[in-house]
């Protein structure tokens, strides 16, 4: 072999030694192990479950007139049985009490479900029962008849901060147990669902459809939030996801277990967010707080001495930045609970203690039970504390089925019925009382407009 050949062989051997066949990250550097989330995930993942639901919805015929009983009676047509279409969906849940088999999830995951199946990481599947569900906070509690379960410890979500690392575990797109990581991007987010009680944790950990009800955990493997919603234009993750804080979830769960429902506290005030103009008019330097624009008669606020014009700055020492925060804070307190309010009145701070009343539970009624001309609509008494309908009173049109008699007559979801047959109504009961006769004349508030809507 020539000297040139020997040199070439030496070069090839040197390159082979320098370049490993399978490049990989070393287990440690200078004797220090590299960080990994794997040990924490192995401990926590068995407590996260996949949830599959089955239900059915009513399918209306192709001709909307066939759903109108007056039309069928006029043409002497027999009643036809309603058809139903089967539905199914997937979500996630978190086992928070292994001994009792209790699973936390979102209320919207199990809403309308007739069958609920819970699948564990070890592939065991159980039928679940709903212990209780609260639409306002979007929390539901399920129970499964299972043994040898893992559970997640619930952390104090009040201690988390923007920038903390978090991990989301769930069932995105029905793929089964999936782990993503990120940080807490923001705290106290609201306005995602104006009708709900919100104090969301925002995170950039990937949350997608199917993650709803899954776990958001800290690096200690503790539950800090229940994944609930995403902000997306195309339906996929864009780095903005929201989770319900564990403290809120725990509070709702405790009431669902005790009462079967959430008995929310009621202060009994109409409130406004402080604007710079309002702050100037009331002689305060900051725009933090909620202005009391009305005190309801015989309410907890009136009994405690709250006055119109007071600015509520905090509840039990927790600052209130705007009207929505005050609504959320009071709404997550129990009825009968005593709270301490810090208010500004005539430029001076005052401390006021109030024992909260109880919010009425919204009851939805099929409008056809009141009048056949309203068939296809769902009604409930308007929640005047909702930011969207602040200070209003009446009956809210919750849903209107497309093509139904109610839709044909011009009723729309979100309409507020303020009167019927020249009688003012402030509740569903009053509406039922005055909605008599074959024809109705409804006073409707639709956005900023008012209109009269005849129903025959």
212 is catalytic: yes
Given a contact cutoff of 8 angstroms between Cβ atoms, the answer to whether 270 and 336 are in contact is: no
Of 340, 342, 170, 330, nearest to 241 by C-alpha is: 170
Question: What are residue 140's DSSP bridge partners?
Answer: 105, 133
| Set 67, 134, 138, 310: catalytic member | 138
Cα–Cα–Cα angle for 412, 417, 423, rounded to 5 degrees: 150
CA distances from 384 to 5, 391, 433 (A): 91, 6, 21
CB burial of residue 269 (10 Å; 0-12, 13-18, 19+): buried
Cα–Cα–Cα angle for 273, 279, 282, rounded to 5 degrees: 115
Cβ of 94: how many Cβ atoms within 10 Å?
28
Sequence-distant (6+) residues with CB within 8 A of 432 are 365, 370
Residue 257 φ/ψ, nearest 5 degrees: -70, -35
Residue 419 φ/ψ, nearest 5 degrees: -160, 155
* DSSP structure class, residue 368: G
Q: Over the range 142-165, which residues count as b (16 or more CB within 10 Å of their CB) and which as e?
A: bbbebeebbbbebbebeebeeeee
* DSSP structure class, residue 82: P
108 is catalytic: yes
22 is catalytic: no
| Set 89, 185, 212, 404: catalytic member | 212
Distance CA 401, CA 63 (A): 13
| Set 89, 92, 108, 157: catalytic member | 108
Sign of the alpha-carbon dihedral angle for 338, 156, 49, 202 = positive
Catalytic residue numbers read 108, 138, 212
């Amino acid at each position: 072999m020539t000297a040139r050949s020997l040199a070439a062989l030496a070069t090839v051997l040197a390159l082979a030694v320098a370049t490993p066949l399978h490049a990989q990250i070393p287990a440690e550097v200078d004797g220090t192990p590299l960080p990994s989330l794997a040990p924490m995930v192995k401990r926590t993942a068995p407590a996260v479950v996949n949830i599959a639901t089955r239900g059915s919805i009513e399918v209306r015929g192709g001709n909307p007139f066939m759903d109108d009983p007056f039309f069928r009676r006029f043409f002497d047509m027999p009643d036809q049985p309603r058809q139903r279409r089967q539905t199914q969906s997937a979500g996630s849940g978190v086992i928070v009490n292994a001994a009792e088999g209790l699973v936390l999830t979102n209320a919207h995951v199990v809403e309308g479900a007739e069958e609920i199946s819970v699948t564990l990481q070890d592939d065991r599947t159980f039928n679940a029962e709903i212990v209780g569900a609260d639409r306002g906070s979007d929390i539901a509690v399920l129970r499964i008849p299972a043994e040898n379960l893992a559970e997640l410890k619930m952390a104090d979500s009040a201690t988390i901060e923007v920038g903390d690392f978090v991990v989301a575990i769930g069932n995105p797109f029905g793929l089964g147990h999936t782990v993503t990581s990120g940080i807490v991007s923001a705290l106290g987010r609201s306005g995602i669902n104006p009708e709900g009680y919100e104090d969301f944790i925002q995170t950039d950990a990937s949350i997608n459809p199917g993650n709803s009800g899954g776990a958001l955990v800290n690096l200690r493997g503790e539950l800090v939030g229940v994944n609930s919603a995403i902000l997306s234009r195309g339906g996929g993750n864009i780095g903005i996801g929201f989770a319900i804080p564990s403290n809120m979830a725990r509070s709702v769960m405790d009431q669902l277990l005790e009462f079967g429902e959430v008995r929310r506290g009621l202060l009994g005030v109409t409130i406004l967010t402080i604007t710079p103009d309002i702050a100037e008019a009331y002689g305060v330097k900051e725009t933090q707080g909620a202005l009391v624009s009305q005190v309801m008669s015989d309410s907890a606020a009136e009994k405690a001495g709250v006055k119109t014009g007071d600015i509520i700055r905090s509840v039990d020492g927790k600052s209130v930045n705007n009207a929505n925060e005050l609504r959320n804070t009071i709404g997550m307190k129990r009825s009968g609970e005593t709270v301490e309010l810090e208010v500004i009145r005539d430029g001076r701070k005052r401390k006021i203690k109030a024992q909260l009343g109880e919010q009425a539970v919204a009851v939805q009624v099929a409008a056809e039970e009141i009048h056949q001309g309203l068939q296809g609509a769902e009604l409930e008494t308007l929640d005047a504390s909702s930011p969207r309908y602040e200070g209003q009173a009446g009956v809210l049109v919750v849903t209107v089925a497309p093509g139904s008699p109610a839709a044909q007559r011009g009723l729309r979801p979100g309409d507020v019925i303020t009167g019927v047959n020249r009688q003012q109504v402030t509740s569903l009961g009053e509406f039922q009382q005055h909605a008599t006769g074959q024809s109705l004349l409804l006073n409707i508030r639709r956005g900023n407009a008012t209109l009269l809507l005849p129903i025959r």
